[in-house]
Amino acid sequence: MNSTINKVVPVVGRKRRAVRTPIRTGSHQRGTRGVDRSEMLAVALSEFSAKGYDGASLADIGGRLGVSAPLLLYHFGCKEDLWRAAMEVVCARFADVIEAAVDDGRRLDARAAYETLVRRLVFFVASNPDFHRVLIQESGARSPRLQWLVLRHLRAIFAQMQKVHERAVADRAIEAVPFDSVMPMILGAAAHYADSRVLMGMLYGSTDSSITGIGPQAEQVVSFCFEGLSHGFTWPPTAAVAANGCGRPLGGSFVEPLRVASHA
């Protein structure tokens, strides 16, 4: 007898709701535990994050779910389509978070709007570490999957964030640092928290290794980021810093400090 699995169909728009339609599982499913589509995609994303696209297997994903690899093939067609389906879900959540942050920022001054955006971005990335790990893996591989992801989702999302950044620059709320230089630092700070919080807890014993620590981490990133962007340096960097990265000549002492940009 055929059993059913709930399939979550996202509805386009800022306020997405889950519409459940049955997926027929037939004899492909091993065991009696019900598994819905959202659980399948969450486990798949976790496997892709942990092992990379090439290292993840349908057998391992199915094993974690208690279903067979043929069942996954039955519903998703192939491993790449399963990867795409998993990324579609998390990108939809990402888009909602950024859209809401941008909308809320329209009622604020330029700096407050940018801080709101960064705070929400940090919280999302830190609480969805699998998403960022997959992005980094695919970026390192320069894969066609990343190209698909950029064209389908990320370009529009990052364009919204760039407008907030450019508004802050135009209003002289921050230095005129290129968006594509700032964003990797923010994303890195957010993702590093997720990847290192357990290590920090083991080393120092006081770091919150749960999701409850993300809020304070987001505030720290906002504080460090905007103190630096407001009056910490000039752009572009001096020739010495650009050449040596850390601002040290190869032989010894620090080079002269960067001049503070004037807001006059």
Number of domains in the chain: 2
pLDDT at 33: 53
Does residue 126 belong to any structural domain of this protein?
yes
When pLDDT is cut at 50, 70 and 90, the band that residue 259 belongs to is very low
Is residue 152, in this structure, part of any structural domain at all?
yes
Question: 92-126 pLDDT, tens per residue?
Answer: 999 999 999 999 999 999 999 999 998 899 889 88
What average pLDDT does this structure show over 39-47?
96
Domain membership flag for residue 39: yes
The pLDDT, as a whole number, for residue 57 is: 96
Residues 28 and 138 in one domain: no
Paired tokens of 244: 């040596």
* pLDDT band at residue 244 using 50, 70 and 90 as cut-offs: very low
* Domain end position, chosen among 60, 77, 94: 77
Least confident of 82-91, 187-196, 235-244: 235-244
Residue 241's pLDDT band, with cuts at 50, 70 and 90, is very low
For residues 51 and 32, membership in a common domain is answered with yes
Reported confidence tier of residue 186, pLDDT bands at 50, 70, 90: confident
Q: What is the pLDDT of residue 45?
A: 97
Task: Identify the sign of the CA torsion 83, 89, 93, 99.
Answer: positive
User: Are residues 30 and 114 located together in one domain of the fold?
Assistant: no
Predicted pLDDT at 69: 95
Residue 252 covered by a domain? no
Whether 20 has a pLDDT exceeding 50, the answer reads no
What pLDDT was estimated at residue 95? 97
Query: Which helix or strand (DSSP H or E) is residue 187 part of?
Result: helix 179-204
**Which of 77, 97, 127 delimits the end of a domain?**
77
User: Residue 167, SS3?
Assistant: helix
Residue 121: which of 142, 138, 104 has the closest Cα?
104
157-181 pLDDT, tens per residue? Answer: 999 999 999 999 999 888 888 899 8
Shared domain for 49 and 91, answered yes or no, is no
Record the pTM.
0.71
In a domain, 243, yes or no: no
Helix axes 179-204, 214-231, angle to 10 degrees: 140
| Same domain flag for 129 and 19 | no
- Do 206 and 133 lie in one domain? The reply is yes
Structure confidence at residue 65 as a pLDDT band (50, 70, 90): very high
- CA–chain centroid gap for 255, Å, is 35
In this prediction, residue 254 carries a pLDDT of 34
- Are residues 87 and 72 located together in one domain of the fold? no
Per the structure, the complete domain to which residue 33 belongs is given by 4-77
The pLDDT of residue 174 is 85
Q: Is 30 exposed, middle or buried (0-12, 13-18, 19+ CB in 10 A)?
A: middle
Residue 197 pLDDT grade (very low, low, confident, very high; cuts 50, 70, 90)? confident
Beta strands in the chain (DSSP E): 4-10, 18-24
Same domain, 118 and 207: yes
pLDDT at residue 227 is higher than 80: no
pLDDT at residue 214, rounded to an integer: 65
Q: How confident is the model over 26-37, as a mean pLDDT?
A: 54
Q: Is the pLDDT of residue 208 over 60?
A: no
Same domain, 61 and 94: no
User: Does the pLDDT at position 190 exceed 80?
Assistant: no
